[in-house]
Structure 1
Amino acid sequence: MFRAAPRRRTVVFQGQVLLIENLRERSQLMSDALTEENFDVGVVDDAREALQALSAGLLSEQGKRPELIICNARMLGDAGLETLARLSASHPDVPVILYSSFTSPRLRAAMARVQGACILDASADLEDLRSAALELAASRQKSL
């Protein structure tokens, strides 16, 4: 049987929330919650694509910068978190929220290296994410 490739939404990034999440249901719940708060959400659901987007200079031009990056830290992995740490250090004006349902001491240490990131622990829920996103977006608007 022939299966067509799923349609992917083009991720533009400018003025968007960049959501890096590979679990479809979680991604949809998060996208819906953020959309209700008037965020435009671009989703990257593949770790390699996320690493490529982050390492390819996603933040190198002002016009391409997302408003906020929300990331499943476990999905991104060590290399992705290291890349995100470098981007966060060079672009502190783009807030980052990191979360993971399952953490280890090693993953928590890697998450802590992302300068200025808001880290949500395993007990955080969708409302915690929504509140953090609103707070970071508001503080970003005040600093612009």
Structure 2
Amino acid sequence: MAVNILLTDDEEGFVDAVARRLDKRGYTIHQAHSGRTALEALNQGVEMDVVVLDVRMAGIDGLETLHLIKTSHPDVEVIMLSAYGTPLCVTECRRWGARAFLNKPVELDALIKAIDEAAEAASARREKKAHQADR
């Protein structure tokens, strides 16, 4: 199963570097460089399994973007990233529905593990909904 990932960070170099590394591992990567462009991408109908989202971004920050994603696309799994991961920030991200919180600089293996777990949860949720719809 191909995993669709939306990488969202206002640091374009970071997004490009992570995208290349994940692409080599077989993931389907989409990029957004702001919260607003991430929301636009989700609203265009491409089914994303996982959004990887930076907490601190210009414009709409990651927490607000997370809240908007979970409000309009509750089945999308979100992994938050931050170089400033205070306990309060982690708690807020979890409260708003983030599946995981990773500190930057992020280790690729930890990110891949979080993505795989999130994609598996998203897939199970879709299967459950499809099964319920068939009843």
Q: When the two structures are superposed, what TM-score results if normalisation uses the length of structure 1? A: 0.66
Aligned pair 1:19/2:7, yes or no? yes
Greater shift in the superposed pair: 19-28 or 130-139: 19-28
* Superposed structure 1 runs of 4+ greater than 4 Å apart: 58-61, 76-80
Unaligned runs of 5+ in 2: 127-135
- 1:118 maps to which residue? 100
The DSSP-based 3-state class of the residue aligned with 1:28 is: helix
Unaligned runs of 5+ in 1: 1-14
Give yes or no for contact 1:51–1:76 (8 Å, CA) kept in 2: no
Query: Identity of paired residues, percent?
Result: 25
Counterpart Cα distance in 2 of 1:36 and 1:104: 32
User: Which amino acid is 2:7 matched to?
Assistant: L
**Root mean square deviation, CA, Å:** 2.9
Q: When the two structures are superposed, what TM-score results if normalisation uses the length of structure 2? A: 0.70
Give aligned pairs, total: 124
Counterpart Cα distance in 2 of 1:108 and 1:141: 25
- 1:4 maps to which residue? none
Once the two structures are TM-superposed, the CA of residue 40 in structure 1 deviates from its matched residue by: 1.3
- 1:40 maps to which residue? 28
The DSSP-based 3-state class of the residue aligned with 1:132 is: helix
User: Which amino acid is 1:128 matched to?
Assistant: A
The DSSP-based 3-state class of the residue aligned with 1:87 is: helix
